[in-house]
Amino acid sequence: MLNHFTKSFHKNPQSPNPSNKLKGLTHLLTLLSCLSLLTHCGKKEETAAQTTPILIAATPELNVLTEALLNGELSVESTPEESLPSLLKEAAERTYVLIPASLASDNYETWLTELLAEGAKPLVVTNPSSLSPEKTLLSLNEITKSLLENTSVSSELEKQSDRLRAEIEPLSQRWNTALQTLPKEAKLYTIHKELDPLSTILPTEFSVIELEALAENIQTAKTKLALLAHEPKKRTTIKLEELGLSSIRFDAGPLTSTSALLESLETNTTSLEQLAKSVQSAFAQPILKDFEHGMVELIENYCIECHDEINEEGGVNFELFLTESSAIKRPEFWEEVKAQVELGAMPPKKRDQLTSEEKEFFITWIDSLSERWDSGEFGADPGRTTVRRLNKNEYNYTIRDLFGIKIRPADGFPEDSGGAAGFDNNADALFLPALLMENYVEAAGHIVEAIYANREARARYLFKRPTTRKSEEPVAKTVLNRWISLAFRRKATPEEVDKYTAIFTQARTKAKTFDDAMKMPLLGLLIAPDFLYRSEVEQAKPDAYLISDFDLASRLSYFLWSSMPDPELLSLASKGELSQEGVLEEQVIRMLKDPKADSLPMHFAGQWFGWEELRSRANPDKDRYPEFTFPLRVALYKESTSFFQHLIKTNASAYDLLQSDYAFLNEKVAKHYGIPGVEGPEFRKVDLLDDTRGGVLGMGSVLVATSLPLRSSPAVRGDFILADILGTPPPDPPMNVEQLPADDQEIKNQSFREALEAHRQDPNCKSCHQIIDPLGFAMEQYDAIGRWRTTHNGHPIDASGQLPDGTAISSPNDIRNHLLENKDLFIRNFTEKLLSYALGRELTAYDRPIVADITQKVIAEDGNVHTIFIEVAKSYPFRHRRNDDYTPAGAITKATQISE
Amino acid sequence: MKKSWHIERRHMLRGIGATVALPFLEAMMPSSRVLAQEAEDVAKSAGALGAEGQKVRFTGVFMPNGFDHSRFTPKRSNLDELSPILSPLEGLQDYVNVVTNMNSVGGHALGTAGMLTGSTPVKTPNASDLDVLHPSIDQIIGQATKHTTVLPSLELATHTPRSGTSMNGFTEIYTSFMSYRSANTPVPPEIDPMRAFDRLFKNARLSSDKSARKKADIIAPNKSVLDLVLDNAKSLQRRLGRSDQQKLEEYLTAVREIEEKAANASANNKELTITSEVLKNISATRRDIRKAYGGGEEDNIKTVPNLSYQDHIRLQFEIIALALWSNTTRSATFMFGDGLNARNVSFIDGVSGNHHTISHHGDKAENLEIFAKINTFFVAEYANFLKRLEGMKEGSSNVLENSICYMSSNISTGQSHNGRSMPAIIAGHAGGSLKGNRHIDAKGAPSGDALRSVLHEMKVRGRIGEGNGRLSGLT
């Protein structure tokens, strides 16, 4: 072995030069790594006695010295030729070996390996820079001498080496740890050389590892790593070139001192750690493009048996989503699936369960899909609301504002249904059956009579009167021009004016007076589709486009007032100024302050939080709850509308809906709540003196709407909080679930709560109910008509529970505080609801980035109510529309597509 | 054919005036006599006729949440011995066929929308994708027979429609409506008995009634106006996008129907059968309705009439009965509630709670017993309706003789939520061709078979429901 050493020296008796130095350093570094690897995973028996290897520092002087030694220019004790080798050998045998910065030796590693295998210990030699060559030589002599004599010099060196060793030890450990964190599937090979698998990781030929390349190419690398990770387990190695990493560089500065070397080592260790981390996370993270490998396998193993096209349990069919292109279109579907899997509700307990890695992969994939949608990666689409019939309320308010009469003809119309978000202004849910058309015709007749019976309204309609018989037709034209424009909410076309005037002319042949003849065209206006429906100008463009100012005026007024635009809006629209940013914001604020915005507390908030139900479905049992009189019903309804109205009028924070230290009460409601000192029928702001009330959860109307006729319902209330306040609905219950008795007075010996809990022992029920029930139980201190109670059926109420994150709750106030910790969810939900209401359609995945953006802005403004309305009015879907043939990935600019 | 009652009627009607139903149309279209004649000619053989030429009429009744089968299913193949839930039908067995074991779609939402179509609606949470595949049977019958009557169809109910998405992710529109004019357009029912009554019988009074109707003083659109708005709609259709076409098509259809009804205005007198007997009953019902409403509450925020559930049901059934007796329509439907029916039914003896919750009986004996009481209540209301029809004389028979009524549910038996083993209670002799006093086990045949049998009895053609034969044993 020493011969190798000797040989190598003889082979390259070069004088040191910079490139050689560099190479040498590299070699040393490599050496270090090899050493550490060897120690770590090498031949255990032989190296058992090894301590942690120590860095060899190279010194130019040492090179010179060694060479001089070898060249016989120096002498030690014996002749160089013969005795140096043996000297060195002896030194080696005594476990020290001097390793100079020998260069360019192919067998260098082998020699060292062999040396080490024989129990040699490398020696740290610091740079005696203060020494002159002669002195260095001398020190070498001394070193050698002491080596032989085992003197204190060696212990000095030993100390130095110990110190270095101590500094390098942690680096070495980090090195090893970094190696260990690499997934076992990923053992990197160098491009140029395949070393012994145990000693892989770093290239030997390379002088450089490029971390920048890593950062830039990480996505590619991740993709490929993941692909490889999911292949059947044939492969155990990956080549760097397969990762797309073409070159790697270690940061190597001039290593003239151990500190520099240490620094370099530090950097290199860090580089390795980062590399290992990236590789590790690349293996852990599912790649979206790789849906078809990872997700599909899991679906096929755990889901498809029950949820395929044939069985479609629970209405869920995964066969629709087995390709990436179909799957990524439905983030909301995956979010529902995630909720089931996360809670452990699916797969059902009696079936195979996902391992924790599989579950994490599954959920991470879904989360990353949601994030991608939220970031707007899939393109923009402002959506397209179908032509929208005025609903009942809008009809009434529009008539009120158009003519100034107090008639409410739509009260007799059939109720409108609603869309998925729960609002009755959803265009697709508004139908026009024969019955309703009859109602419109009849109502139109009544309205015309009412206008004519009211002097002001009549004068407003017939604002111009003819003086002669001949002037009648031109006057009719002028009058009808204005009224068509008002009724149709846009400028009348000349053809329309002519047609309606012709109706007048024809009617005039039979009518006794001008006024009488003007009834018929008015009637026509009131049943015309341009009045009954809100349509928007469809521009012949393949891209999305800004809606016209008149269309914007209508959208704004029906959004904030459920009624037609007023003169100010129409004037701004006709001047083309409405869509200017400052103007739009100003108008929104003006409109929110107008009394017409009372439609929002009634129709928007009422349908969102449920107090709308007091107007129809909510019916506490008359015998069980005789206190729930009709006047109380009305009062509780008005409490809620007054509260929401206050938020809008004063631009308060939306968080007051979650928790407030005030409520809007009148005498009747206050009595119902047991709050003293409130007199009179008007509603006014009252400071709450305890925490039994506050926010929407303290409102009687909401509490009634979330109860059954004979009892309160913890499940309904828990679901309400999760779904309607936080926007995180629990999974749907299985179809054939048995409910608790409808009447809680029937459960004799248990408290209702005990009965509820016994009912839910089934683990299939528990997985979802563990998030629903604690909320519902904590609300039990409110009875089915919203009164506060501490006992029920003779049992004290146990409202205590624990949320999934461990938070203990035991009262509605605890829930309210919990809600305040989830402001982001609440604001997101508020935004979704408001956007759906404003647009009159259900939201799609393309609305997600809009919602995310608005949510962020509103939270930054501390939940300020005006901000939400303004941001919705300024949002992309509210200001734009597109046609049926639009595709979101971008504009189709073929000229041939324009037209028809 | 002897039409003695026709002659009697004509005398009466001269005192009443031209139009009984849809009074606001009275002012419309005197010039549509030509149309009326055409309509009359076309109408001659539309729909089945009874022995004396009476027009056979259809009624569909929806009861939510299914039955307790153990107390429903008759033991034998006839109805001599009635099961507990069917006991209110005592005395009517001759008119009744009880069908059990049909296969239907099931579910609160899909089952409701599918009861009168026999098909599975497209599963969607969105109103925009609503699709029940084809019209429901009442609309098919209505459109086929509309020229022989005044209103093509009459839809009544007691509930306001739900909004949003059902618990299983389907649009609540399905849960709320069982009548569909086309695959994508539901027909919302009238839930206010007062309005329903006035729509049909506002001007129907005995000539001796001193508080005779005032002359119609509300203005109605003339033909030029209707042409103008139809034109407006067509040009809108051209201007707007594809997805708007359907909505505007609804408008066009609705306006044309108004025209049709007005055109029938003079023809419809020939079709009405309003004898003095009928009139007496109409007036009595008018008083009944006014009484049931009681005083209006101040500051009324409610969008539903202030009636007890029992009064509400009774009055709506009464109005349907009168509409059938007077031949104001030949196709009527009634929904006891929506597909969930979370209504408080504690007024039923031995029951405490709401219908939906109780229907989740868990197959437990004590729960089923209570659930069965609710079933019996609804069957009793249906039986009252049938008895009423039986008591309405026409010629030498009665309305029930010349009717076919179909009552079924969306869910077979609450708990399960599925549509398997679905029963139906069919009543009436359909003009004489349908026998009664039978219990027919459908053995899993699709409910579409039963609906096809109904169409057969009505002599109306139309495609409906899954499967393709008629229910064997029934027709």
Q: Are residues A21 and A147 in the same domain?
A: yes
Give residue-wise pLDDT tens across range A12-45.
Answer: 333 333 333 333 333 333 333 333 333 333 333 3
Residues 348-367, chain B, touching A (beta carbon < 8 A)? 352-354, 357-358, 360-362, 364
Q: What is the pLDDT of residue A246?
A: 33
Q: Which residue among A423, A507, A884 places its CB closest to the CB of B163?
A: A423
Residue B306 to residues A370, A706, B302, Cα–Cα distance (Å)? 47, 22, 8
Min Cα distance B266 → chain A (Å) is: 18
pLDDT of A843 over the 70 cut: yes
Q: Confirm whether A382 is domain-assigned.
A: no
Min Cα distance A442 → chain B (Å) is: 6
Q: Which residue among B130, B225, B244 places its CB closest to the CB of A520?
A: B225
Q: Are residues A161 and A12 in the same domain?
A: yes
Q: What is the pLDDT of residue B168?
A: 80
Q: Which residue among B163, B221, B251 places its CB closest to the CB of A417?
A: B163
pLDDT of A873 over the 90 cut: yes
Give residue-wise pLDDT tens across range A255-301.
Answer: 334 455 556 556 666 666 666 666 555 555 544 446 776 788 889 88
Share of chain A above pLDDT 70, in %: 64
Q: Confirm whether A887 is domain-assigned.
A: no
Tell me whether residues A449 and B250 touch, CB distance under 8 A.
no
Q: Which domain holds residue A78?
A: 2-178
Q: Which residues pair with B333 in a beta bridge?
A: B60, B155
Give residue-wise pLDDT tens across range B69-110.
Answer: 999 999 999 999 999 999 999 999 999 999 999 999 999 999
Q: Confirm whether A539 is domain-assigned.
A: no
- Which of A699, A731, A748 lies at the terminal end of a domain, its last residue? A699
Q: Confirm whether A381 is domain-assigned.
A: no
Q: Are residues A399 and A454 in the same domain?
A: yes
Q: What is the pLDDT of residue A735?
A: 64
- Which of A317, A349, A374 lies at the terminal end of a domain, its last residue? A374
| E strand intervals along A547-675 | 662-665
Query: Of residues A401 and A797, which shows the higher confidence score?
Result: A401
Average pLDDT on B318-339 reads: 95
Tell me whether residues B360 and A737 touch, CB distance under 8 A.
yes
Tell me whether residues A434 and B152 touch, CB distance under 8 A.
yes
Q: Are residues A14 and A135 in the same domain?
A: yes
**Chain A residues close to B160, C-beta within 8 Å:** 415, 616-617
Q: Confirm whether A893 is domain-assigned.
A: no
Q: Which residue among A433, A529, A607 places its CB closest to the CB of B232?
A: A529
Structure tokens belonging to residue B230: 């139809």
Q: Confirm whether A130 is domain-assigned.
A: yes
- Rounded Cα distance, B195 and B162, in Å: 21
Q: What is the pLDDT of residue B28?
A: 63
Q: What is the pLDDT of residue A645?
A: 97
**Chain B residues close to A636, C-beta within 8 Å:** none
Which among B139, B229, B312 is the top mutation candidate for probing chain A, defined by the most A β-carbons within 10 Å of its own β-carbon? B229
Tell me whether residues B241 and A841 touch, CB distance under 8 A.
no
Structure ipTM = 0.90
Tell me whether residues A419 and B152 touch, CB distance under 8 A.
no
Mean pLDDT, chain B, whole residue set: 86
Q: Are residues A807 and A848 in the same domain?
A: no
Min Cα distance B397 → chain A (Å) is: 32
- Rounded Cα distance, A186 and A230, in Å: 12
On whether any CB of chain A is under 8 Å from the CB of B214, the answer is no
Q: What is the pLDDT of residue A164?
A: 57
Q: Are residues A21 and A51 in the same domain?
A: yes
Structure tokens belonging to residue B233: 């709609």
Tell me whether residues A617 and B236 touch, CB distance under 8 A.
no
Min Cα distance B48 → chain A (Å) is: 25
- The DSSP H or E segment spanning A545 is strand A545-546
Give residue-wise pLDDT tens across range A418-456.
Answer: 888 889 999 999 999 989 999 999 999 999 999 999 999
Q: Confirm whether B3 is domain-assigned.
A: no
Tell me whether residues A414 and B188 touch, CB distance under 8 A.
yes
Q: What is the pLDDT of residue B271?
A: 64
Residues 71-110, chain B, touching A (beta carbon < 8 A)? 107
**Chain A residues close to B177, C-beta within 8 Å:** 417
Q: In this structure, what is the dihedral angle of CA atoms B139, B144, B146, B148, given to the nearest 10 degrees? A: -140
CATH of the domain at B341: 3.40.720.10
- Rounded Cα distance, A155 and A178, in Å: 33
**Chain B residues close to A523, C-beta within 8 Å:** 219-221, 225
Q: What is the pLDDT of residue B27?
A: 61
Mean pLDDT, chain A, whole residue set: 75
Q: Which residue among A502, A619, A742 places its CB closest to the CB of B352?
A: A742
3-state secondary structure A295-355: HHHHHHHHCCCCCCCCCCHHHCCHHHHCCHHHHCCCHHHHHHHHHHHHHCCCCCCCCCCCC
- Among B468, B368, B389, B379, smallest CA distance to B424 is for B379
Residue A353 to residues A293, A311, A316, A761, B251, Cα–Cα distance (Å)? 19, 20, 18, 20, 53
Give the number of C-alpha atoms closer than 13 A to the C-alpha of residue B195, restricted to the C-beta side: 24
Q: Are residues A114 and A239 in the same domain?
A: no
pLDDT of A125 over the 80 cut: no
Give every CB contact of residue B430 below 8 A, 6+ residues apart in sequence. Answer: B48, B56, B402, B403, B404, B457, B458
Average pLDDT on B201-210 reads: 62
Tell me whether residues B191 and A414 touch, CB distance under 8 A.
yes
Bond preceding residue B161 cis, omega within 30 of 0 = no
Q: Which residues pair with B439 in a beta bridge?
A: B98
Tell me whether residues B221 and A527 touch, CB distance under 8 A.
yes
Min Cα distance A569 → chain B (Å) is: 24
Tell me whether residues B240 and A619 touch, CB distance under 8 A.
no
Residues 440-469, chain B, touching A (beta carbon < 8 A)? none
Min Cα distance A744 → chain B (Å) is: 9
**Chain A residues close to B303, C-beta within 8 Å:** 411, 415, 615-616
**Chain B residues close to A528, C-beta within 8 Å:** 228-229, 232
On whether any CB of chain A is under 8 Å from the CB of B239, the answer is yes
**Chain A residues close to B362, C-beta within 8 Å:** 738-739
On whether any CB of chain A is under 8 Å from the CB of B198, the answer is no
Q: Which domain holds residue B432?
A: 45-204+274-294+303-458
Q: Which residue among B169, B222, B343 places its CB closest to the CB of A732?
A: B169
Min Cα distance B93 → chain A (Å) is: 34
Give every CB contact of residue A356 below 8 A, 6+ residues apart in sequence. Answer: none
Tell me whether residues B357 and A741 touch, CB distance under 8 A.
yes
- CB A415 within 8 Å of CB A456: no
Q: Are residues A477 and A396 in the same domain?
A: yes
Q: Are residues A151 and A33 in the same domain?
A: yes
pLDDT band of B118, cuts 50, 70, 90: very high
Q: What is the pLDDT of residue A126?
A: 31
Tell me whether residues A420 and B364 touch, CB distance under 8 A.
no
Q: Are residues A158 and A270 in the same domain?
A: no
Please give the interface size between A and B, counted as residue pairs whose CB atoms are below 8 Å apart: 261
Tell me whether residues B361 and A435 touch, CB distance under 8 A.
no
Structure tokens belonging to residue A284: 């852990």
- Rounded Cα distance, B409 and B417, in Å: 11
Tell me whether residues B360 and A739 touch, CB distance under 8 A.
yes
Q: What is the pLDDT of residue A181?
A: 62
> Nearest-CA residue of chain A relative to B305?
A616
Q: Confirm whether B93 is domain-assigned.
A: yes
Alpha carbon A640 to its chain centroid, in Å, reads 31
3 state SS of A784: coil
Tell me whether residues A528 and B165 touch, CB distance under 8 A.
no
Tell me whether residues B302 and A616 touch, CB distance under 8 A.
yes
Q: Are residues A83 and A109 in the same domain?
A: yes
pLDDT band of A733, cuts 50, 70, 90: confident
pLDDT of A722 over the 90 cut: yes
Q: Which residue among B128, B177, B258 places its CB closest to the CB of A437?
A: B258
- Rounded Cα distance, B461 and A353, in Å: 53
Min Cα distance A208 → chain B (Å) is: 58
pLDDT band of B434, cuts 50, 70, 90: very high
Alpha carbon A584 to its chain centroid, in Å, reads 29
If one counts the domains in chain A, the total is 8
**Chain A residues close to B165, C-beta within 8 Å:** 420
Tell me whether residues A435 and B190 touch, CB distance under 8 A.
yes
Q: Confirm whether B266 is domain-assigned.
A: no
Tell me whether residues B250 and A431 touch, CB distance under 8 A.
yes
Tell me whether residues B243 and A739 touch, CB distance under 8 A.
no
Tell me whether residues B219 and A416 touch, CB distance under 8 A.
no
- The listed range with the strongest mean pLDDT (A168-182, B41-55, B149-163, B256-270) is B149-163
Q: What is the pLDDT of residue A101?
A: 34
- Cut 0.80: pTM above it: no
Q: Are residues A302 and A275 in the same domain?
A: no
- Which of A821, A842, A869 lies at the terminal end of a domain, its last residue? A821
If one counts the domains in chain B, the total is 1
Give residue-wise pLDDT tens across range A374-400.
Answer: 988 888 899 988 999 999 999 999 999
**Chain B residues close to A387, C-beta within 8 Å:** 236, 240, 244, 247-248
Question: Diameter of chain B by CA atoms?
Answer: 66
Give every CB contact of residue A261 below 8 A, 6+ residues apart in sequence. Answer: A55, A57, A255
